[in-house]
Structure 1
Amino acid sequence: MANSPSGDSVLDRLVRILGAFSAQHSALTVSALARRANVPRATAYRLVESMVSHGLLERRDNGEVAVGLGLWEIVNRSASANDLKTIAMPFMEDVNQVVQHSTQLSILVEDEVLVLERLSRPGHAVNAAGIAKRMPLHRTSMGMVLLAFSAPHVAEGFMQRHGTEIALYHQDFRRSLDHIRRNGYATFDGFIDEETTGAAAPILDNKNRALAAMGIVVPRESDQLPTAIAALRTAARGISRTLSNLPA
């Protein structure tokens, strides 16, 4: 694919344009996209028009563009993510029946938690997790579970890259991860929202490494937390067993 004078390829620019969208910026003008993606405006207009024609982006009545259904369809063809979500959904529904707030499924992507699925009830506690949203590893119970049950070099690398941010929330990060491994789950109060408690359990492979995490969010100091954690751990183990029985 042809490179620009700056050395980046068309694919590089396409990826940056798509990456410019976020939960806070779900629709943008082409000029704003060009700035956020660091792409020349003329090039951004040309690439956006091409992506709109293929359904990867859609144009709003006000002239802004947003992620299109075509891109959503492509993303949802991911076999591994679909297998995980399909298997996890009945277990998530059972947990959500117990919790009566919200339940989410996530994986580790780079240095963040990527939320794959979320179920919520009317009147649920405040929950910053949203489908396809990325969240900080060290500030979520899901992220801490994913780190605790990942290969040792994963957590060590994360600590080396983010030591300053980690210190704001954890006095002894390694001890926190050890505690999670011993207990088999993580729970933290008020890391994202002061009024809530998050808890998560790992979904493990045959080597006891985290494939994913299932989490819940309930009001802080909720008396249902022990029951919810028990249901969460049971569900996570059930998903782990089901995944281990899939054909290779």
Structure 2
Amino acid sequence: MQTKSVIKYICQWIEEYASTAKCKGFVIGISGGIDSAVTSTLAAKTNIPLLCVEMPIYQKKNEINRGKEHINWLKKKYSNVNSIEVNLTPILESYIKQLPNNNNNHELALANTRARLRMTNLYYLAQSSNSLVLGTGNKVEDFGVGFFTKYGDGGVDISPIADLLKSEIYHLAKELNINNNIIQAAPTDGLWENGRTDEEQIGASYSELEWAMSYNGKEKLTKRKEEVLTLYYQLNNANKHKMTSIPVCKIPSELK
């Protein structure tokens, strides 16, 4: 991959989109992970106003620290970058208290609620400043296995890195001089109190999923590759609803 050229291309794409949309800036959630670090750095390089938002919800301290370090680095390097922290933990706790006692402990639903609270906050900040929300999803997550929350971290205005595989994002991170603590950290969505990683949730590594996405049917498969391929197809099929337009009931013309 021509890393420097890709970086330049994405930055120009962001600039052109902002000009066409006539927005005054961008808003992005910073998690302490590599995807948000790379996306925010690309946006910062455009000199368009960028608001980096920390939104801890029972967040692990190491994730918070990585996010803060990245934001501080960005602000020192780029004068167009500002930041804000909005602690959403009390809001989630208040919401849970309003749920019926027999329906307030569904782990996955609560994890996705965290992501949707963050999306709501990002859009408030964006709309109040005539800005757009930047997505941080990569190609494997967004178009491979659908590893994102519908109307949560999947609720964005533009996706600068969604055509890049995870391995390609690591190349960009190194070229952009992203903090090594972020590059070396195990990918996680930060939605679980036990800190489980993406690989633990999905059941396969990003490199395995990238292989599955490019599988052409000709390679002789090991037992592990058969498992990964089966898992990939299962997730891709189960999460198709996230990756396609909302189904619309089309009324036949003779009924109108």
TM-score > 0.5, shorter chain as reference:
no
- TM-score with structure 2 setting the length: 0.29
Q: Which has the higher strand share?
A: 1
Higher relative contact order structure (alpha carbons within 8 Å, sequence separation ≥ 6): 2
- TM-score with structure 1 setting the length: 0.29
